[in-house]
């Protein structure tokens, strides 16, 4: 079978310090953005929203709680509103 050259995308864990007020759950993000929780999780997996986990919780855990950034959600919401206004479909 012939070999092809591909680029592998590797997610890397990096421990960061963040403001606890900026750290929100997937449920809170879904409320901020007005989208379902599975959409938020897909956006986090795709890199649209940042994804954070508690470092000690990931060792051997079967289910890891995911968090994202309130600021990133608000910025994304502003993009949604701007796009909706540009096409005339935004109502408050």
pLDDT per residue as tens digits for the range 2-41: 888 888 777 888 889 999 999 999 999 999 999 999 999 9
Average pLDDT, the chain: 86
Does the structure show a pLDDT above 60 at 78?
A: yes
Contacts of 26 (CB under 8 A, 6+ apart): 37, 40, 41, 44, 66, 67, 68
pTM summary value:
0.76
**What pLDDT band is residue 76 in, cutting at 50, 70 and 90?**
very high
- Only one residue has tokens 């649209």, namely 48
């Amino acid at each position: 079978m012939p070999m092809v050259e591909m680029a592998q995308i590797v997610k890397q864990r990096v421990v960061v310090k963040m403001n606890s007020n900026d750290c929100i759950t997937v449920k809170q993000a879904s409320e901020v953005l007005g989208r379902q929780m599975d959409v938020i999780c897909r956006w986090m997996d795709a890199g649209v929203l940042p994804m954070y986990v508690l470092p000690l919780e990931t060792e051997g855990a079967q289910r890891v709680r995911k968090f994202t950034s309130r600021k990133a959600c608000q910025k994304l919401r502003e993009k949604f509103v701007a796009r909706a206004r540009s096409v005339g479909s935004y109502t408050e």
